């Protein structure tokens, strides 16, 4: 083990904070902070899944919010049709996301660079319009989820603390999985493809097949975030799939530090807290947020994680 490092310390502090948050909320009586952080944890999960393909795999998907919608609609539609069990809803949400990722991944991976950004965006917009056209499930107005997923006594999603810890457990599980994937042979191949696809192909790796599997894993993880998000807001609408939401996820990943394990979590926490904080100071919070993003791009290479790393060395 290396000696003390700032980024490790900050990461540990953040994770500890996330674990102990319900205690703080209980002691201070601040219930709102639980609602806020449940959302943050869920979106951190989505950002982490995007980071798997964007940061480690070099596949810049601009349509990742589609999975939030697919996972959410799987829960919402099943609930409306009278299937309230989470043991059915969640697997369906994951499977639907995986199938969607398989289809659009197989098509999108034929392109590269900017074209890849644009084709993933196009598919997400298609998903958005499909959801808008679902008259039975609310169309444009969205779908209210009257009853949260029922895990038959195992865990109660309507209990704020239990739901928070479920989300947090999902986040940690996904991070653990990403860590294992990135350090596996499979993960090394995918990262090799990011740095030099031609060379990897020349060695004899079937590039597209590796990338596609990675794309599907990432989409499935984000589908989980979608299912949780629908439970959190008790509502799902086409708006969760709109392209600006995909942009939000990208911002979280880049802000935190692309290609680092905990960067996206950091990015989600900072981005959403900043949004919350600025919107309390002024109604015109985006007036500050926008230029801030620009400055981060111009001067903060590697996001927050990169910044902390430099602090350590400097």
Q: Could you list the residues that contact another protein (CB under 8 A)?
A: 54, 60, 62, 107-108, 110-115, 117-119, 121-123, 125-126, 129-130, 132-133, 135, 139, 243-244, 247, 250-251, 254-255, 258, 284-287, 289-294, 296-298
Q: Which helix (H) or strand (E) holds 236?
A: strand 235-236
Structure tokens at 121: 């965006």
Of 231, 211, 216, give the one whose Cα is nearest residue 170.
231
Of residues 296, 292, 258, 277, the one with CA closest to residue 51: 258
Task: Closer to another protein by CB, 34 or 272: give it.
Answer: 272
CB of 311 to another protein, least distance (A): 21
Of the candidates 139, 145, 222, 210, the one whose C-alpha atom is nearest the C-alpha of residue 181 is 210
> How far apart are CB 278 and another protein at their closest, in Å?
11
- Give the C-alpha separation, 217 to 181, whole Å: 10
CA atoms within 13 A on the CB side of 16: 6
Rank residues 34 and 104 by Cβ distance to another protein and give the closer one: 104
- How many C-beta atoms lie closer than 10 Å to residue 242's C-beta? 17
Phi/psi-derived region of residue 240, left when phi > 0, alpha when psi is between -120 and 50, beta in every other case: alpha
Q: Shortest distance, CB of residue 285 to another protein, whole angstroms? A: 8
Distance CA 210, CA 189 (A): 8
CB of 96 vs another protein, minimal distance in Å: 18
Token pair for 114: 């900017």
Q: Specify the residue, 18 or 258, whose C-beta has the smaller distance to another protein.
A: 258
Residue 297: CB minimum distance to another protein, A? 4
CB of 123 to another protein, least distance (A): 7
Nearer to another protein, 169 or 297 (CB): 297
Residue 63 or 223 with smaller CB distance to another protein: 63
For another protein, give the closer residue by CB, 45 or 117: 117
């Amino acid at each position: 083990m290396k000696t003390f490092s700032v980024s490790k310390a900050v990461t540990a502090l953040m994770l500890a904070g996330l674990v102990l948050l319900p205690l703080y909320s209980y002691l201070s009586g601040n219930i709102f902070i639980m609602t806020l952080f449940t959302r943050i944890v869920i979106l951190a999960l989505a950002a982490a899944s995007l980071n798997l393909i964007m940061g480690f795999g070099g596949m810049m998907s601009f349509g990742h919010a589609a999975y939030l919608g697919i996972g959410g609609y799987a829960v919402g539609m099943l609930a409306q049709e009278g299937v309230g069990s989470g043991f059915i809803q969640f697997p369906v949400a994951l499977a639907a996301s995986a199938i969607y990722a398989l289809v659009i991944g197989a098509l999108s991976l034929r392109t590269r660079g900017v074209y890849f950004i644009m084709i993933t965006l196009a598919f997400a917009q298609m998903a958005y319009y499909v959801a808008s056209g679902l008259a039975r499930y609310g169309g444009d107005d969205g779908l209210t989820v009257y009853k949260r997923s029922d895990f038959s006594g195992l865990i109660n999603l309507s209990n704020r603390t239990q739901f928070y810890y479920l989300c947090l457990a999902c986040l940690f599980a996904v991070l653990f999985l990403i860590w294992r994937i990135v350090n596996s042979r499979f993960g090394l191949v995918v990262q090799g493809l990011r740095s030099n696809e031609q060379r990897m192909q020349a060695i004899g790796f079937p590039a597209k097949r590796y990338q596609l599997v990675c794309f599907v894993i990432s989409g499935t993880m984000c589908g989980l975030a979608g299912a949780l998000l629908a439970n959190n807001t008790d509502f799902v609408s086409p708006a969760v799939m709109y392209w600006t939401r995909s942009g939000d996820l990208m911002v979280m990943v880049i802000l935190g530090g692309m290609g680092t394990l905990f960067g996206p979590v950091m990015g989600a926490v900072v981005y959403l807290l900043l949004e919350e904080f600025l919107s309390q100071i002024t109604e015109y919070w985006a007036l500050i947020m926008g230029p801030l993003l620009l400055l981060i791009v111009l001067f903060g290479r590697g996001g927050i994680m990169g910044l902390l790393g430099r602090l350590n060395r400097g």
